[in-house]
Amino acid sequence: MPWDPTKMTEENGSDSQNSGTVNRANHEANGKADQANDSGVNSIDDSGAACETGRKSNYKTGRQSNRQTGRKVGKRAAFAITYGVVLVAFTGYVLFDTFALSRVQASASEINTSSIVASSTQGSSDATSSSSTSGKSGSSSNSSSSSSSSSSSSSAKVTSNSYSDENMQISITTEREYDTNIYIVDVQVSSAEYLKTALANAQYGRNIKETTSEMAEDNNAVLAINGDYYGFRDDGYVIRNGVLYRSTASSGTDALVIYGDGTMASADEDEVSASQLLQDGAWQVLSFGPTLVENGQVVVGENAEVSQAKTSNPRTAIGMISPLHYVIVVSDGRTSESEGLSLYELAQVFEEQGCTYAYNLDGGGSTTLWFNGQIINNPTDGRSGGEREVSDIVYFG
């Protein structure tokens, strides 16, 4: 076909128009894309700003919350620390007050033993009138009884296991029973005034203590054993050498009563007052227990035990065959050589000795038998040997 320049020009113009239209379309598309991109960027920027705002808000809120929580925790910790300190301090004080703090409440009184013993034998209720001036417990006898004891001692016959004068006969035997060393003391006296008690440092109070040996020597005893450790407690009757020191009953406890005529018996502290016992002629009242033998019969069960004590222990106990004829039983325990006695075994020993009555005193590490300047048994608490300081003793002298 022949070349037509006009047609070519028209075609070129048409192509140019088409090209412009395409370019405009492309330009518009690009513009819209740019707007979309700008919108996306703005949206991203807005989201970032929102995130930043949220982060700052969360940080601020979290910090405030942490501060509040910290204050609460701090208050709780401070309370816990304060409570702990107070609790420890209170517990320490209670332990110190119970085991260490001495509290003197009275000095032991000098009493006229002859008048008390006589009035008790006659069934008189005038025992309280026999207390007079203050003095040391070791001086509890009047001048006549002291001089009598002194003259008797000067003429006494003494061996390593016996003592004899016109007013006292004492013999000590050692037996091996229940895989334990047992010391049996037979004592006969002419009057109950020779069966005495003494307080540590001659003072009545809480946690006032001496060893049995120290109290025995201070009071010129011939033979002594530890008592009921009254100072470890705040209750339980305490009448010593005819003087009433404590009248607060120990509920559920039978007290040992030694009357002026030399008889022994148990008294239920829930049923009879200390003042009534004193009026009835009580010469000594000790509160520990339990009663082991009554009317010649064992009255303690095979599984009976003193509260918080082991089944087998060192033991101290006193009993009576008849008025003014007494038996003391002391046993070793808590060692490889001696296992110790149960309360039932202890009661059986008294029954074997022909006792009509027997009563358990403080034992364990307190158990001590002292005779004529020597410790006879093997005192121990199972951890260390040697005498324990106690509140009081029972002695003959």
In this structure, the answer to whether residues 90 and 196 fall within a common structural domain is no
Predicted confidence at residue 54, as pLDDT, reads 56
Q: For 91-100, 266-275, 376-385, which range has the lowest pLDDT when averaged over its residues?
A: 91-100
DSSP 3-state of 356:
coil
Q: pLDDT tens for residues 229-266? A: 999 999 999 999 999 999 999 999 999 999 999 999 99
**Six-digit token pair at 189?**
């006296």
In this structure, the answer to whether residues 171 and 59 fall within a common structural domain is no
| Residue 218 CB-density burial (10 A; 0-12 exposed, 13-18 middle, 19+ buried) | middle
Q: pLDDT tens for residues 202-213? A: 999 999 999 999
Q: Report the alpha-carbon distance of residue 170 to residue 227 in Å, rounded.
A: 19
The DSSP element (H or E) to which 327 belongs, if any, is strand 325-331
**Six-digit token pair at 80?**
């816990």
In this structure, the answer to whether residues 150 and 189 fall within a common structural domain is yes
DSSP state letters, 250-319: -TT-EEEEEETTS-EEEEETTTS-HHHHHHTTEEEEEE---EEEETTEE-S-TT---TT--SSB-EEEEE
In this structure, the answer to whether residues 363 and 254 fall within a common structural domain is yes
In this structure, the answer to whether residues 251 and 371 fall within a common structural domain is yes
In this structure, the answer to whether residues 69 and 210 fall within a common structural domain is no
Q: For 84-98, 305-319, 349-363, which range has the lowest pLDDT when averaged over its residues?
A: 84-98
In this structure, the answer to whether residues 124 and 146 fall within a common structural domain is yes
Q: What percent of the chain has pLDDT over 70?
A: 63
Q: How far is CA 105 from CA 109, 204, 205, 341, in A?
A: 12, 6, 5, 35
Report the Cα 248 to chain-centroid distance in Å: 19
In this structure, the answer to whether residues 58 and 138 fall within a common structural domain is no
DSSP 3-state of 48:
helix
pLDDT bin (cut points 50, 70, 90) of residue 27 is: low
pLDDT bin (cut points 50, 70, 90) of residue 318 is: very high
Given 101, 121, 140, the domain boundary residue is 101
- Of 150 and 141, the one with more pLDDT: 150
- Yes or no: say if 237 and 283 are a contact pair by the CB < 8 Å rule: no
Peptide bond into 290 cis (omega under 30): yes
Q: Report the alpha-carbon distance of residue 320 to residue 386 in Å, rounded.
A: 29
Q: Report the alpha-carbon distance of residue 116 to residue 160 in Å, rounded.
A: 33
- Yes or no: say if 215 and 201 are a contact pair by the CB < 8 Å rule: no
For 232, the domain range is 107-396
In this structure, the answer to whether residues 60 and 119 fall within a common structural domain is no
Predicted confidence at residue 241, as pLDDT, reads 98
Q: pLDDT tens for residues 175-217? A: 999 999 999 999 999 999 999 999 999 999 999 999 999 999 9
Q: How many helices (H) and strands (E) does the chain have?
A: 6, 23
The stretch 282-308 carries a mean pLDDT of 91
In this structure, the answer to whether residues 200 and 252 fall within a common structural domain is yes
In this structure, the answer to whether residues 137 and 82 fall within a common structural domain is no
Give me the residues paired with residue 105 across strands.
Answer: none
- Yes or no: say if 197 and 393 are a contact pair by the CB < 8 Å rule: yes
pLDDT bin (cut points 50, 70, 90) of residue 309 is: low
Predicted confidence at residue 336, as pLDDT, reads 94
Given 84, 101, 118, the domain boundary residue is 101
pLDDT bin (cut points 50, 70, 90) of residue 129 is: very low
Given 101, 131, 153, the domain boundary residue is 101
Predicted confidence at residue 107, as pLDDT, reads 64
- Yes or no: say if 184 and 349 are a contact pair by the CB < 8 Å rule: yes
The stretch 386-392 carries a mean pLDDT of 96
In this structure, the answer to whether residues 75 and 133 fall within a common structural domain is no
Number of domains comprising the chain: 2
The stretch 269-291 carries a mean pLDDT of 98
Predicted confidence at residue 12, as pLDDT, reads 42
Q: pLDDT tens for residues 108-128? A: 644 444 445 545 444 433 333
The maximal CA–CA distance of the chain, rounded, in angstroms, is: 179
Predicted confidence at residue 303, as pLDDT, reads 86
